[in-house]
Amino acid sequence: MANPYRSKEGLSARPVGTSDEIQLRIDPLHGDLDEEITGLHSQVRRLKAVAQEIETETQLQNDLITDLQMTLSQAGAGLKNGMRRLNRTVQQSSNHIAHVIIFGLILFTLVYFWSKIVRK
């Protein structure tokens, strides 16, 4: 057995002192390196294109979220203004309702006394 760390692709790993490092030695006897490099280069190009698409999609989604946040804050401000107006209207209409109730009671009392006077 020549080298226990020898791989099929012509690369061999040597044990090193620290576990953080891996050393590879390229065996020049195998001539398929150009094809491997070309294949790796095309894979890197595809990965770069995928990464760019992901970046574009991320930017679009961030813009959409920003627009949605602005729309929600505007809707919240509109709702707050609407509630303020509704509260003012309720307060004003409660005064009107009190006036209508008082007018009805006075009118009812006058009709009651008038009917008592007319019966006699």
pLDDT digits (tens, 9 = 90+) for 12-61: 555 555 556 666 666 655 557 777 888 888 899 999 999 999 999 999 99
Contact criterion met (CB below 8 Å) for 25 and 12: yes
Q: Any idea what DSSP says for residue 6?
A: B
pLDDT tens digits, one per residue of 64-103: 999 999 999 999 999 999 999 988 887 777 677 788 899 9
Instruction: State how far the Cα of 41 lies from the Cα of 33, in Å rounded to an integer.
Output: 12
> Can you give the pTM of this predicted structure?
0.45
Calculate the dihedral angle through the C-alpha atoms of 59, 61, 64, 65, rounding to the nearest 10 degrees: -110
Give residues with Cβ within 8 angstroms of 77, minimum separation 6.
none
Instruction: Quote the tokens at residue 18.
Output: 């620290």
| Alpha helical stretches, state H, 6-120 | 33-119
